[in-house]
Amino acid sequence: MLDLSLHEIAQAVGGKLLMSPSFTPPVISSLATDSRTVHRGENSLFVALKGPVYNAHNYIPELIKKGIRAFLVSEEPKPSIDAAFIWVNDTTLALQKLAAHNRKQFSYPVIGITGSNGKTIVKEWLHDLLSDGHKIVRSPKSYNSQVGVPLSVLLMDDHFDLAIFEAGISQPGEMQHLAPVISPEIGILTNIGDAHQEFFSSLEEKLQEKLVLFTGAKKLVCRIDEDWIYTQAADFCKENKIEPIFWSIENQHTDLNFSLKKNTRQTEISGNYQGRSFSFAIPFVNDSAIENACHCAAALLALQQNPADFRETFSQLQPVAMRLELKQGINNCTIINDFYNSDLNSLSIALSVLKQQAVSAQQKKVLILSDILQTGLSKKELYSKVNSLLEEWEIDQLIGIGAEISKHRNCFSVKTTLFSDYKEFEAGFNRQAFQSSAILIKGARRFRFERISGLLQQKAHQTVLEISVNALVHNLNIFRKRLRPETKIMVMVKAFSYGSGDIEVARVLQHQNVDYLAVAVADEGVRLRNAGISVPVIVMNPEQDSFQNMIDFGLEPNIYSIELLRNFAQNVSAAGIQSFAAHLKIDTGMNRLGFKSSEEISEACEFLKNSDALKIKSVFSHLAGSDEAALDNFTQSQFEKFDRAFDQISSALPYHIDRHILNSAGIERFPQKQYEMVRLGIGLYGVSLTGLPVQNMGTLKSTVSQIKTAGSDETVGYNRKGKLDSESRIAIVPIGYADGMNRKLGNRNGVAFIKGQRVPIVGNICMDMLMLDVTGTSAEVGDTVEFFGPHIPITELAEKIGTIPYEILTGISQRVKRIYLQE
């Protein structure tokens, strides 16, 4: 982004500049949109975005204290002598206008990519292919939304000579806002699929919406193996005078066609473009990778490059990790893997995650960084900028790996250790040197930092449970949208956050400003407090032996009986504390914990009026059948009992008390009863009763250890239960019932997903492994196997074995490594 004055920005976005006559306006060189990632901001413009569940305007006073001096707002600002405001109708649209203004300042080529799948991979592979000859600016990670696109385009400056941006949409009408922001010279349409289809009447409508991005382009790369895509894309190109770079694998009569030759490890791709032949190989055999590589080859032709000149780079293409990985490390460390690209923009984003993680976990901040390649800056200027980022994010230690970064030790003011290459780092590796630290591993793909991650991670079991942080936040917001803005939300993180990892999930929820967390027993709450979680925590099953811990760590009890009330109050009084927060549980029909009769409630209220030890923060109950329409009459009776009980309590106690009764199913089916707070449980983890657009949050996966052939007269596994009808290929996978795979899934009842298809589990599931029938697939040793996730819904598993998703999630063994993925 070019340095701009506030007057220039106001003019570009059509806003009104408001500031005190005595205020000296800063020159703006960067933007921020998340108040939680802002640390220094003398030359930053904070864009106060508004959405269905958030309003960044609420954080402006706090940001002024942090040093932010300029704000783009859509609410009338309060006068301030310490800040300037640009007032617009819509801050998101203003951000897009500012990015479009920045885009117009540069004449170098811009490639715009859209489609249902493959956008980020095509972008990253194009970067890898072209980076030796170009200085490229590109979208960080998957920045392709209504906010992500303008933030990406604002990275353009005169250091670059090529730009590659991706654009994603989820609803009609969105692309018209992004098209002038990117304004691509060359367009790439990756494909059209079912992603976000719920907002479109047909795939044809979605295609027309995506084509809007390319209205002013000169060339369009598009696969035309489907007739309807060819027809619409051809008409679009003709209407807008765009040169089509259409390609096909199946139709040999196009201007650009490809033929394939696969073996077990790679695909040889031969192409013919207007009579010119070329070929290259990629180290992949799956259809999506082949399609992405063909798009890249077509884009090279659109740039008047010969794909044959890139044979070596094509052969070295690697999988692209589009999300950060968070793992448990050795010696109370947290590992943040982001070792698939390395540039200043993605480094800044990753450092903000490192800062957040370290602060919440009370850990030191360590960065392991490779050489940064192809930035357009001199090496001294580059590493001086890196040092500025390290100072801004208060990094405690830098470990640099690479010849170039090692030459520029004098650029760094933080504690620095440098190695010329990975082998030197490995030779000097000392496990004890890494203690209670959040460690960001950030490197260009060619540095292969996977091995460094392997040295630092705590568990090496090949079976992992991947947790999508983005899906967790998405699901939280889906339920928030069903609530009034003032309704508080309590999230259940008991039972290791339903098997997903209590501390890590709690950190995300704290970052998302939830109002309460709920645990089952005090030990779970103590664990959260020791990890730096400061959100109020309610203990659902307080026990006598845990009272002191609850008092010491500020954990709020669920008071469900008069005996518990008296005993806990006595302990609080003995500690010399008054008005300790507590919650009253009412039994309205579950016949589990809780005060049931009016007499019990009266006794509790009388005790509370005569004691200053406790102050009741909320009264709540638990619905027995909110997920079953057949029990709605009973549910209504529970609401009525709850209302009567609350009226009795609120009239007896002289202060405000919140109410909550809705669980996840209740939020979906009875939003009129949300009261002052709700409790979100299984909905957060991707299970919806009514078909809300929640996302899969967890993926249980492992890898193939061995493949063998078994004859039709042989059996598989214990007790010879795995009977074979014909000669079969059997894959052995290191996951068993000790990891959480229910034995009822054995003997072809359960399935796994491998190499693009489902395969049955054969034989009895063992303690530490199971067997799959992979006959007819190209499965190999080392291949990834999914047991639930995007291809096998956890609800399907639950139905197969006659249980509920809760049991499956909470049953995943602690020995299974949890990996947290964050875009």
User: CA 342, CA 443: separation in Å to the nearest integer?
Assistant: 5
The answer to whether residues 222 and 189 touch, using CB atoms and an 8 Å cutoff, is: yes
DSSP 720: G
The answer to whether residues 333 and 439 touch, using CB atoms and an 8 Å cutoff, is: yes
Nearby residues of 433 by Cβ (< 8 Å), 6 or more positions away: none
Pairing mode, strands 757-762 and 751-754: antiparallel
**Amino acid, res. 433:** A
DSSP 84: E
717: left (phi over 0), alpha (psi -120 to 50) or beta: left
User: CA 545, CA 174: separation in Å to the nearest integer?
Assistant: 57
Q: Over the Cα atoms of the chain, what is R_g?
A: 29
User: CA 707, CA 643: separation in Å to the nearest integer?
Assistant: 61
The answer to whether residues 442 and 395 touch, using CB atoms and an 8 Å cutoff, is: no
Q: Which of 104, 380, 708, 718 is catalytic?
A: 718
User: CA 678, CA 659: separation in Å to the nearest integer?
Assistant: 8
Helical segments of 186-328, H only = 203-211, 227-240, 287-302, 311-315
Is 655 annotated as catalytic?
no
Token pair in block for residue 750: 């359960």
DSSP secondary structure, 476-541, as one string = HHHHHTTS-TT-EEEEE-HHHHHTT-HHHHHHHHHHTT-SEEEESSHHHHHHHHHTT--S-EEESS
Q: Which of 327, 494, 585, 617 is catalytic?
A: 494
> Token pair 């529970």 is at which residue?
638
Is 380 annotated as catalytic?
no
Nearby residues of 238 by Cβ (< 8 Å), 6 or more positions away: none
Is residue 592 annotated as involved in ligand binding? yes
User: CA 361, CA 27: separation in Å to the nearest integer?
Assistant: 35
Is residue 659 annotated as involved in ligand binding? no
DSSP secondary structure, 578-609, as one string = -SEEEEEEE-SSS-SSSB-SHHHHHHHHHHHH
The answer to whether residues 10 and 84 touch, using CB atoms and an 8 Å cutoff, is: no
User: CA 416, CA 400: separation in Å to the nearest integer?
Assistant: 7
754 beta partners: 757
User: CA 91, CA 686: separation in Å to the nearest integer?
Assistant: 31
Angle (CA) 16-21-24 rounded to 5° is 90
The answer to whether residues 314 and 293 touch, using CB atoms and an 8 Å cutoff, is: yes
User: CA 419, CA 417: separation in Å to the nearest integer?
Assistant: 7
User: CA 315, CA 298: separation in Å to the nearest integer?
Assistant: 17
The answer to whether residues 680 and 491 touch, using CB atoms and an 8 Å cutoff, is: yes
DSSP 431: G
DSSP 435: -
The answer to whether residues 823 and 323 touch, using CB atoms and an 8 Å cutoff, is: yes
Question: Is 643 strand, coil or helix?
Answer: helix
Nearby residues of 765 by Cβ (< 8 Å), 6 or more positions away: 717, 736, 737, 741, 742, 743, 745, 746
DSSP secondary structure, 187-220, as one string = EEE----STTGGG-S-HHHHHHHHHGGGTT-SEE
**Amino acid, res. 259:** S
The residues assigned a catalytic role are 494, 718
Binding-site sequence positions = 592, 767
Binding-site sequence positions for substrate = 592, 767
